[in-house]
């Protein structure tokens, strides 16, 4: 089964539904909502190096014991020959690779990726500092919501946790598009209450980014 990417995570019809949900939410508020899907928040090269190295070590040790009477001169060439294929194997088995990474590291990398996207996409440059980023990171299977300073003083952190749980549950149940649209509507409700639309509002951010 081919690995799912950000570009293929939503069908064209689902992408259109998400963009429509963003436009509908932003029509009621001066805030900006940016859903974003990325393949991964980080490449985790250390995991590939360590896990691939250990796998190559185990294979070389086993083969040298069976066929070379545990000779160091048999072990070393086998290890050197096996190291690169083993690291590539770990890279190409994302489910295994993810299980080898501590949960805290996965969460930290997704949060860092969200902060980077927040700056790169200009979410922090909206006129009233009322931008919201909803980041879905596929490799880590995590969702992160980041709101600008104009919103955070008015909305408790628990609200963003609820939105994360809403999207995460939808992805797990195979209803990612419906869940994301519901999360966008929820963000629109929050923004409408605190930051109603102004007469001269304009669309300052994209309605969906797949990266």
Confidence of residue 5 (pLDDT cuts 50, 70, 90): very high
Pair 143, 165 in one domain: yes
Quote the pLDDT of residue 150: 84
Pair 26, 59 in one domain: no
Pair 59, 148 in one domain: no
Pair 29, 114 in one domain: yes
Where residue 129 sits, what CATH number does that domain have? Answer: 3.10.310.50
- CA-CA distances (angstroms) from residue 20 to 6, 91, 99, 146, 177? 19, 36, 36, 21, 12
Pair 111, 205 in one domain: yes
Quote the pLDDT of residue 125: 84
Q: What is the pLDDT of residues 85-108, one digit of tens each?
A: 999 999 999 999 999 999 999 999
Confidence of residue 112 (pLDDT cuts 50, 70, 90): very high
User: Does residue 172 sit within a domain?
Assistant: yes
Pair 16, 94 in one domain: no
Pair 30, 119 in one domain: yes
Rounded Cα–Cα distance for residues 126 and 148 (Å): 9
Q: What is the pTM of this model?
A: 0.90
Quote the pLDDT of residue 210: 93
Residue 199 has pLDDT above 80, yes or no: no
User: Does residue 135 sit within a domain?
Assistant: yes
Residue 56 has pLDDT above 90, yes or no: yes
Pair 129, 172 in one domain: yes
Among 99, 127, 143, the domain-final residue is 99
User: Does residue 55 sit within a domain?
Assistant: yes
Question: Whole domain around residue 168: which residue ranges?
Answer: 6-42+103-210
Q: Are 148 and 123 in contact (CB under 8 A)?
A: yes
Q: How many other CB atoms sit within 10 Å of the CB of residue 84?
A: 11
Rounded Cα–Cα distance for residues 135 and 159 (Å): 16
Pair 18, 122 in one domain: yes
User: Does residue 112 sit within a domain?
Assistant: yes
Among 99, 115, 131, the domain-final residue is 99
Quote the pLDDT of residue 142: 97
Q: What is the pLDDT of residues 181-193, one digit of tens each?
A: 999 999 999 889 8
Pair 185, 199 in one domain: yes
User: Does residue 1 sit within a domain?
Assistant: no
User: Does residue 52 sit within a domain?
Assistant: yes
Pair 121, 87 in one domain: no
Quote the pLDDT of residue 67: 87
Rounded Cα–Cα distance for residues 45 and 189 (Å): 41
Pair 112, 202 in one domain: yes
Q: How many domains does the chain have?
A: 2
């Amino acid at each position: 089964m081919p690995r799912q990417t950000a570009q293929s995570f939503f069908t064209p019809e689902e992408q259109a539904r998400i963009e429509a949900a963003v436009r509908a939410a932003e029509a009621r508020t001066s805030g900006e909502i940016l859903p974003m899907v990325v393949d991964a928040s980080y490449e985790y090269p250390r995991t590939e190096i360590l896990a691939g190295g250990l796998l190559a070590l185990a294979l070389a040790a086993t083969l040298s014991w069976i066929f070379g009477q545990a000779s160091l001169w048999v072990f070393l060439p086998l290890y050197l020959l096996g190291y690169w294929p083993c690291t590539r194997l770990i890279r190409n088995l994302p489910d295994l690779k993810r299980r080898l990474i501590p949960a805290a590291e996965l969460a930290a990398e997704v949060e860092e990726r969200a902060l980077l996207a927040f700056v790169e996409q200009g979410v922090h440059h909206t006129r009233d500092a009322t931008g919201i980023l909803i980041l879905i990171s596929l490799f880590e299977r995590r969702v992160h919501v980041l709101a600008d300073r104009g919103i955070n003083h008015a909305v408790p952190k628990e609200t963003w946790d609820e939105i994360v749980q809403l999207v995460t549950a939808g992805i797990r149940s195979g209803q990612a598009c419906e869940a994301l649209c519901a999360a966008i509507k929820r963000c629109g409700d929050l923004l409408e209450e605190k930051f109603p639309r102004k007469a001269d509002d304009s669309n300052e951010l994209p309605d969906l980014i797949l990266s």
